[in-house]
Structure 1
Amino acid sequence: MSPLHRQLEEYLAIRRAMGFKMERHEKLLGQFADYLAAHAVQALTTEHALAWATSPHQGDPRWWAARLSMVRGFAVHLHALDPAHQVPPRGLIPHGPRRTVPHLYTDREIAALVRAAGALSFPLRAATYQTLVRLLAATGMRVGEAIRLDRADWDADLEVLTVRDTKFGKSRQLPLHPTSTTGLQDYLRLRDRLSPSPSSSALLLSTRGHRLRYERVWDTFHRLVGQAELTPTAPASPPRIHDLRHSFAVATLLDWYRNGADVQAMLPRLSTYLGHADPKHTYWYLSAAPELLALAADRLDAHQKDPR
């Protein structure tokens, strides 16, 4: 093990002690340490960090920037131990605004994605991706949370999913709608028949009985979008898998406004369901759809006219 690999282990241990999961960091920074070892690099340099982050050269600048951001955190740690290590400056890779305008899926588009998933090769793979799309659309879970679900996290009697050790180190319970419960139970019966002895405890299984991998899920979903012939609602807003979470949040808020609910009082519930650390992070969804802003403005106008 090279000195940089040992220092990486120390860095990951420190970050995890602070409450960060560091799963993707461990994988990618491990690849970066391998790259440095292969080039016999003793001290991290901006040049090497940039060369690694921007490979492959036909990649997405946003992905390059994310990789370089992970390296930068590690570099700050190394620089504190030895100034010979360079810290890549911020903004080295231009990649547009931090917030991408989400694609808000319609019910018809979600149904098209489910149909496209049903056409995937192998029955278990098709059923798994149909269930994944439906769960993300019905619960607003993060993709990583859905992948990490274990079979034991589903309580069929209570019709509740338990999402454990989330982004902020907390767990939460998600009651499912009866239609979602029925769909999940149907999937579990099918997967138990097709994969009676899986090698993983995961709820959602690959064809070989393993837990789904994030990179493979992202790639498959991208192909499903094309097969479903979905089109961006804006030039810079291609349909992404994470946008199912945005769509769930916006649809929930729209329903509350249309039904006259006290959105201000209800928002903390949505924040808890989504797994946000603070309700203020949920307020961002108010700006995600013009219709939401219009309804909020109408509600404010009515309140000002009748302040009782």
Structure 2
Amino acid sequence: MSPLRARAEEYLAMRRALGFKLTTQGRHLMSFVRFCEERCVVRVTADLAIEWATQTSRGSGDEVYQARRLDVVRIFARHLQALDPATEVPPADVLSRRYRRIPPYLYSPQEVAALMGAAGTLAPALRAATWRTLIGLLAVTGMRQGEACRLERDNVDLQAGTLVIADSKFGKSRLVFLHPTAAAALRAYERARDRLFPEPMGGTFLINSRGGPLDGHNIQHTFAALIAAAGIQAPPGRRPPRLHDLRHSFTVATMLDWYRDGGNVQARLPLLFTWLGHVDPKSTYWYLQAVPELLALAAGRLQQQADGRAVR
């Protein structure tokens, strides 16, 4: 084992012991270590870090993505510099980090129904039931797909109609309430699942056709096939619809309903970002500028308020 690899593994173990998951960051850091080992380099330099960060495996030219990769090395280099003063810490401003969020694909209710219909054709029967339940659950709760895949049976209370999303992104936990129809659908899935696997291999609520937990990294392949089967296509020049876009669709539909019912949207937004598990309200407010219909409704509401003040 190279000295740099040993240092990296010690560093990751230390940070994980402090509560950091480092799923993506850990993968990036070990990729950088392999990059150094291939060049027989034992010390981090700024030039080497920048070369690695800009030569992505996917060939991405997005400087924001490259800057995030470089950040992984920068934080590690700061740690190393305390042990080896000759370590170079890459500068923070060498790559642009102006963040540009890609507009989401927003599913209509008809498209969600089409996806669930396509899922019903999967084989075996349990796989079809699991996929129908997963799509419906994401559509009506706005959960992250990883949260749904990791959802533990003990955190599902169908009698009370609640789900506990435990230790999710940023280490946060929250309570999600189910509509009675959603609870009934989950109860039907639970009965079908338990008939086939009375003794499952894992403790997750949703299981694969072998009785084990869903693999969050592999479900994208199945979902791409369902998108094609449902006849859903993104507008020209836009990326293909994703499973995660069901969360975006839930958020936008909720905000549209709030504007249309005439309620105080600003007062309700803290409830929404708490429900979604956002760590920063800006993540929720982003939808106002990302979705033209929401922006128009928000502008119209402001205009009404301005007109009311002018009349008084």
TM class by shorter-chain length?
A: 0.7 to 0.9
Judge conservation of contact 1:116–1:224 (CA < 8 Å) in 2: yes
Residues of 1 paired with 2:167 and 2:155: CA distance? Answer: 12
Q: Which residue of 1 aligns with 2:207?
A: 205
Partner in structure 1 of residue 43 of structure 2: 43
The residue that corresponds to 2:226 in the other structure is: 224
Q: 1:279 offset after TM fit, Å?
A: 2.3
Cα 1:61–1:163, aligned 2, differ >3 Å: closer, same or farther?
A: farther
Report the 3-state secondary structure (helix = DSSP H, G, I; strand = E; otherwise coil) of the residue aligned with 2:218.
Answer: helix
TM-score by length of 1: 0.84
Q: Aligned partners of 1:22, 1:196: CA distance in 2, in Å? A: 35
Structure 1 counterpart of 2:186: 184
CA gap of 1:19–1:129, structure 2 versus 1, over 3 A, is same
Identity of aligned residues (%): 48
Structure (1 or 2) with the larger CA radius of gyration = 2
What is the distance in 2 between the residues matched to 1:126 and 1:89?
A: 50
Alpha-carbon separation, structure 1, partners of 2:92 and 2:244: 25
**Inter-CA distance 186–37: structure 2 relative to 1 (3 Å threshold):** farther
- Of the structure 1 ranges 137-146 and 226-235, higher mean CA displacement relative to structure 2 is found in 226-235
Q: Over residues 156-176 of structure 1, what are the superposed CA-to-partner deviations in whole Å (9 max), with x where a residue is unaligned?
A: 121100001121212100001
Amino acid at match of 1:12: L
Cα distance in 2 for partners of 1:219, 1:67 equals: 25
User: In structure 2, what is the equivalent of residue 172 of structure 1?
Assistant: 174
| Matching residue of 1:241 | 243
Residue 107 of structure 1 is matched in structure 2 by 109
Deviation at 1:113, TM superposition (A): 1.6
Q: Residues 1-308 of structure 1: matches in 2 within 5 Å?
A: 2-16=2-16, 19-27=19-27, 29-30=29-30, 33=33, 41-44=41-44, 65=66, 70-71=72-73, 73-79=75-81, 81-82=83-84, 98-233=100-235, 235-307=237-309
| 2:115–2:226 contact (8 Å) kept in structure 1 | yes
Amino acid at match of 2:43: A
User: Partners of 1:221 and 1:44 in 2: how far apart?
Assistant: 40
C-alpha displacement of 1:42: 2.9
Q: State the Cα RMSD in Å.
A: 3.2
Unaligned runs of 5+ in 2: none
Q: Is the 8 A contact 2:49 2:90 kept in 1?
A: no
Alpha-carbon distance in structure 2 between the residues aligned to 1:150 and 1:293: 37
1:304 CA displacement: 1.3
Distance of 2:87 and 2:229 partners within structure 1: 47
Q: CA deviation at 1:88?
A: 6.2
- Distance 1:251-1:51 versus aligned 2 partners, 3 A rule: same
The alignment's TM-score, normalised by the length of structure 2, stands at 0.83
CA distance in 2, matches of 1:82, 1:233: 52
Of 66-75 and 201-210, more deviation after overlay is shown by 66-75
Distance 1:252 1:76, change over 3 A: same
TM-superposition CA deviations, 1:221-254 (whole Å, max 9, x none)? 2232222221113523431222111111110000
Paired residue total: 307
Quick one: structure 1 residues 165 and 41, their matched pair in 2 at CA, closer, same or farther if it must change by over 3 Å? same
